[in-house]
Amino acid sequence: MNGSTSAKVGTSEAVPRSSLLAQLSDRNPLPPGAFVVGIGLGLSGLATYVFFAITSRVLDPASYAAVGVLWSLLFAVGNGVMQPLEQEVARAVADRRARGIGAGPVIRKAISIGAAFTVILVSVGILTHTWVLDRLLDGRGELVVAVLIGLAAFAAGHLARGTLSSHGRFGAYALFFATDGVARVVAAAVLGVAAVAAAGPYGLVLALAPFVGVVVALAGQRGLVADGPPAAWGELTRALGWLLMGTVSLALVVQGGTIAVQILAGQSDEAAAGVFLNGLQVARIPLFLFQAVLASLLPRLSQLAGSGDLDHFGRSLGRLVRTISLIGAVAIVAAIVAGPFVVSAVFGSADVLGALDMGLLAGTFVIIMVAICLDQALIALSGHRLMAIGWAGALAVLVGVIAATAGIEDVFLRVELGLVAAAVAALVWMGGCLTLRMRHHPEVQAVSLAEAAAETPLQD
């Protein structure tokens, strides 16, 4: 009797609960997997802060600055070059799977392209290390080696991520980010406890962590490389050139400030890049949080545009831009009022950027967030070429303003003015192109969460 009663109770409770979950699922505007991807990206961003909080307390200022430049280089070059490959893998594999065709040949082609990219980048790094890497990394050979290893690690990471996301394995995709971040933090903590005060080991941690993420994320995965008809190179390279141009330019705008400070300060202030990096990390906290939204933004916009509902498309984008602008205004004020204190507390440094510097940097990244929203809308309207030209132009503005302000002695201010100008230029371009694009009602291709996740500029 009791067992029968229990069964009935269990059944009666299961039905409404199932119905409730179905209703919540139907009302959820985010594509499946967006939530777990956001968690993975958030953990990775948090791990970045913890890693640098540890290293800033263990290394001397010059060594810490060199590790910071290494980090910026890996993202500006490794992420910038390999991210388009992830995007193309996500698109091509998702297309094959939608047609019931095995993706193995495409993935093997992608591995060949990734290996070629890695060989080219590593070769250029070796050939030019005396003029470029040695100068940027304060002549530390162990960090030069870390850069070269890190480029290979980024290639492996992006290929794994593109393959996982295109198969809908978003749990494993998020696991990559979480594992990569945790590996960095744990290794840095072990080195810190062991009182290792040399830059090299921390640089190697940054370089090797993506390999750990790849191994853990791919463990137990099956059916990723299913046999299928031969793949033409065109399946992966149709938009690769424009994507390379756009992502490398965006990565250099987002990450290039630390590199620029290192070049401009030179031997006169070896710690300057580290000071700037600390301020940059705090000022762009909203941009790290924004990644979780960005991964789900593009599919949603693509769906609206693809259905021809450009009015709803415009309203949705407008609400998002207004929300980001409002939150951004608060972030700017917070950066001016509390930014220097937060930097000092988090990174344990007495030498920090001033309130004006923090305000300019925070403002830069608020503008960049809005510009990225607009460039995602352009991509949803098949405007990859316009997106690429916009970020390339922004990079040119950054370099031009820094060069034009040579008379200003404050290196930080020169770089900050360049970043603000670059962000504004990108925003104006994206906004103008988007307005024209919407008027012409272009043909739209649907964008999946797999492709959208690969668009995010600060994934690690």
- Report the pLDDT value the prediction gives residue 15, as an integer from 0 to 100: 43
- Per-residue pLDDT tens over the stretch 261-284: 999 987 778 789 999 999 998 888
The whole-model pTM stands at 0.82
Assess if residue 222 is contained within a domain.
yes
Sorted by sequence, the CB contacts under 8 Å of residue 295 that are 6+ apart come out as 34, 37, 38, 41, 449, 452, 453, 456
The count of structural domains within the chain is 1
Mean pLDDT for 135-147 is 92
Q: Which residue has the higher pLDDT, 289 or 324?
A: 324
- Per-residue pLDDT tens over the stretch 40-94: 888 888 899 899 999 999 999 999 999 999 999 998 898 888 888 887 887 788 7
- pLDDT tier, 21 (very low <50, low <70, confident <90, very high otherwise): very low
- Report the pLDDT value the prediction gives residue 2, as an integer from 0 to 100: 46
Assess if residue 177 is contained within a domain.
yes
Q: Which residue has the higher pLDDT, 165 or 259?
A: 259
Range among 2-11, 160-169, 298-307 with highest mean pLDDT value: 160-169
* 3 pLDDT higher than 50: no
- Report the pLDDT value the prediction gives residue 12, as an integer from 0 to 100: 43
Assess if residue 433 is contained within a domain.
yes
Domain enclosing residue 338, as ranges? 31-453
| CA triple 85-90-93, angle to 5 deg | 115
* 299 pLDDT higher than 70: no
- Per-residue pLDDT tens over the stretch 393-418: 999 999 999 999 999 999 999 999 99
Assess if residue 371 is contained within a domain.
yes
- Report the pLDDT value the prediction gives residue 147, as an integer from 0 to 100: 95
* 100 pLDDT higher than 70: yes
* 136 pLDDT higher than 60: yes
294 touches 377 (CB < 8 A): no
Q: Which residue has the higher pLDDT, 242 or 64?
A: 64
Assess if residue 15 is contained within a domain.
no
Q: Let me know if 225 is exposed, middle or buried by CB neighbors in 10 A (0-12, 13-18, 19+).
A: middle
- Report the pLDDT value the prediction gives residue 301, as an integer from 0 to 100: 61
- pLDDT tier, 37 (very low <50, low <70, confident <90, very high otherwise): confident
- Per-residue pLDDT tens over the stretch 198-230: 999 999 999 999 999 999 999 988 888 888 888
- Report the pLDDT value the prediction gives residue 91, as an integer from 0 to 100: 76
Assess if residue 207 is contained within a domain.
yes
- Report the pLDDT value the prediction gives residue 212, as an integer from 0 to 100: 97
69 touches 136 (CB < 8 A): yes
Mean pLDDT for 295-317 is 65
- Report the pLDDT value the prediction gives residue 351, as an integer from 0 to 100: 87
Assess if residue 337 is contained within a domain.
yes
196 touches 139 (CB < 8 A): no
- Per-residue pLDDT tens over the stretch 309-363: 677 777 777 877 888 888 889 989 999 999 999 999 988 888 889 999 999 999 9
Q: What is the mean pLDDT of the chain?
A: 83
Assess if residue 12 is contained within a domain.
no
